Chains A and B, each alone.
Chain A
Amino acid sequence: MITRRKDEVTGTDTTGHEWDGIEELDTPMPRWWLWVFLATIVWSVGYWILMPAWPMISDYSRGLFGYSQRATVAEDIRRAHESQGAIVAKIAAAPLEEIRTDPELLAFAVGAGRSAFAVNCSPCHGSGAAGAKGYPNLNDDDWLWGGTLAEIEKTIRFGIRSGHAEARMNDMPAFVQSGLLTPAQANDAAAYVLSLSAPATDARAVARGREVFAQNCVACHGENGRGNPELGAPNLADAIWLYGGDKASIVASISGGRRGVMPTWDGRLDAEVIKELTVYVHALGGGQ
């Protein structure tokens, strides 16, 4: 049974509830609180009219101010592009070597290149440009097609076997699969290639392999197996192996050939972005 009564001490009504002798005062809301509450109601009506507020079947009420977060972001991006306009124009106009030697341009190009790399290049080359099997590590000093600024830019622009008319092209044949070599010859050639960078274990196989190499491989890889960046032929005498440096991997490369592909970015990225990427890759540490 609810019995409201007046509390003598405070002169305020109780709520009428009682819990084991404990009663609660029905103290009215403070007046300032009430006014703030009413003000928020008035405010909300104004807000509905001025700002986007109500969802409708296919649209929403736009509000008289026409405010939109999407438009704000677009405006912010436009302003950011505008503020970078001057330096981007400088990069577009400057030769690559000048970008590399000017600290201001270099800092901007490396920063911009890093973000362009993360979006476009990292799926294959990795976020740190460390590559993977079949995808070159861009941090090291070993370059299939040359590590100068100009060569790096050309590779990014036209790609390798990308289908672009100016794409870099070469051919590592599938020697065994096409019947040019027997599996035993491929094995010997692999033994010889390994002996270029590590002590040989089977001298007779190496001798046989040298023969096979001289007849089939020197045209591209050179007499000492040091490769040829003009043909994209890798250096076989160094410590870096794109497809693995163990014997089985080398035999597999000889038997089945290798045809790595790098897409063309010409027309897909702005010329200045390609320049920024070039400088970024060059600055990773291996640039020549």
Chain B
Amino acid sequence: MAQSDQALKKAADEDAAVETVDVVAVNARARRSLYEKREKIYPKKAVGRFRRIKWGVMAVTLAIYYVAPWLRWDRGPGLPDQAILIDLPARRFYFFFIEIWPEEVYFLTGLLILAALALFLVTSLAGRVWCGYTCPQTVWTDLFIAVERMIEGERLQRMRLDAAPWTMGKVARKAIKHAVWLLIAVATGGAWVFYYADAPTLAGQLARFDAPMVAYAFIGLFTFTTYMLGGIAREQVCIYMCPWPRIQGALQDEDSLIVSYHPARGEPRGPHKRGAAWEGHGHCIDCNQCVAVCPMGIDIRDGQQMECISCALCIDACDSVMDKIDLPRGLIGYDTLAGLERQRTDEKPKVRLLRPRTIVYGAALALVAGIMVVALATRSLLEIGVERDRNPLFVMLSDGSIRNAYTVKIRNKQHEERTYRLTVRGPAGAVVSASEGARNGEAPLLTTPPDQVRSYRILVTVPAGTMHDKEADMTFLLTDITDGTTARYETEFRGPKR
């Protein structure tokens, strides 16, 4: 498709205040063919409250992403003081006051379920606000477009520059743009690796070029993906790569907010002379500003469509036009499908927040959040695992007594060394001892260093003649001698066949 340069600045009749943009919604469904080559979109800058909200969201989300790994959190000596840290070598995940061991990965699963449910609820209420405001793809693409606009100019200038022959000036502009993009991409990849190691240490290593290879590899990977997805692929990611737009269709209903054009008010659309009567004329003056600002290359006036990420920039564009031609704002605005229908039939607008869908999502969200909070609050700081020796199953001693050996693992999640007393309940007369420990018949005391797992070889001996079956239930009981916390493990004791 060729967008003719001369026609770009055609005035909208005498209404000089509003220019009509010669723009084609390249990704509108009607003209999108699978065989078509990609057509570049030159989004125009929008001004208005939603644009301001998006700048704010961008500032907050980027700040969180870049700053979070630098936050400190004191956990005591010998433990990392980074607030958010995924410590892969030590197999720990730290998040402020929370510390998660690998076997507690269900907390992470719970968090993901929580995030998914929250997304479901928000989507059923307010549509694709995730896509429009907070998705990293949207945020970084927005940033990359802002950089592009700063270096290459507004929509028209960018189009002219791309059509122009390769002069030194063009090369310079393009080179600067890609350099800045790469810089942002490197910073993105750089911030990523700080979540996996002590940030100040790693930053020093990176500056001296003696950081671990894997850090450079991941910076490289994220530099590449940020540059490609935010700079080059852009809307193609949302339309062709991302499954979320398809899933969201199933979460929304006729009462979910969508960015929508109000055809009942806008149609029949067409150019309008300043001062002329509005009778028989819709409020849409067909200026195409809403299409020009769209980063997805669609026409919102075609109605709800999968390609729309609900970024609301067309609302800003249309509101500015409405202000200029002295009409009320909101020809394009947040509304629901039911609302559009009511407007068509002149019914009163009505907001329905409580719907079966939102109630189910909300209840599920509250339930999972409750389970998570309870699980976190009651998280045990002492755990015991027991493995019974299977080779040999049991040992007969010279006096005819039977002995079983066990490997007992103690997970001490306290941030200090603790000592535990190990006892058993089960076969009569059972005596516990630690291999190579004292053999005085007393329950062994086992000491475990802070925040670590230790294995102990434990022997349980049952006197001759007391085993009446070839196996008996037995329970290990571990008691912290400092605060009396207990942990138990049910296993069994084996003897010879009777």
Contacts and interface: CB of A to CB of B under 8 A. Distances in A.
A230 interface: no
A150 B436 CA distance: 15
Given A10-B35, A239-B464, A285-B403, A140 B435 contact: no
A235 B457 CA distance: 28
A9 interface: yes
Interface in A134-164: 137, 139-142
B399 interface: yes
Interface in B426-475: 435-436, 457, 459, 464
Nearest to B457: A283
A100 B436 CA distance: 7
B6 interface: no
A68 interface: no
> Would you call the interface of chain A mostly helix, strand, loop, or mixed?
loop
A239 B396 contact: yes
A27 B269 CA distance: 42
Interface stretch (B89-97, B302-310, B344-352, B387-395): B387-395
Contacts of A283: 435-436, 457
A151 to B, nearest CB: 16
B35 A128 contact: no
B436 A140 contact: no
A12 B37 CA distance: 13
Contacts of A238: 398-400
B398 A106 contact: no
A110 B457 CA distance: 11
B391 A239 contact: no
A130 interface: yes
A46 to B, nearest CB: 20
B400 A285 contact: no
A63 to B, nearest CB: 22
B371 interface: no
Given A9-B35, A10-B35, A283-B436, A140 B464 contact: no
Interface string B334-346: 0000000000000
B390 to A, nearest CB: 8
A127 interface: yes
Contacts of A141: 397-398
> Which residue, B391, B405, B436, has most C-beta atoms of chain A within 10 A?
B436
Contacts of A121: none
Contacts of A124: none
Given A139-B405, A285-B405, A239 B395 contact: no
A285 B399 contact: no
Contacts of B457: 110, 283, 285
B397 A137 contact: no
Interface string B92-113: 0000000000000000000000
Given A139-B405, A283-B435, A127 B391 contact: yes
B392 A239 contact: no
A217 interface: no
A240 B395 CA distance: 10
B389 A128 contact: yes
Interface string A104-115: 001000100000
10 contacts: A106-B436, A126-B391, A128-B389, A139-B395, A238-B399, A239-B396, A239-B397, A284-B405, A285-B403, A287-B436
Given A282-B436, A286-B395, 10 more contacts: A130-B392, A139-B392, A139-B395, A140-B398, A142-B397, A238-B400, A239-B397, A283-B435, A285-B403, A285-B459
A-B residue pairs, 5 tightest by C-beta: A128-B391, A130-B392, A238-B398, A239-B400, A139-B395
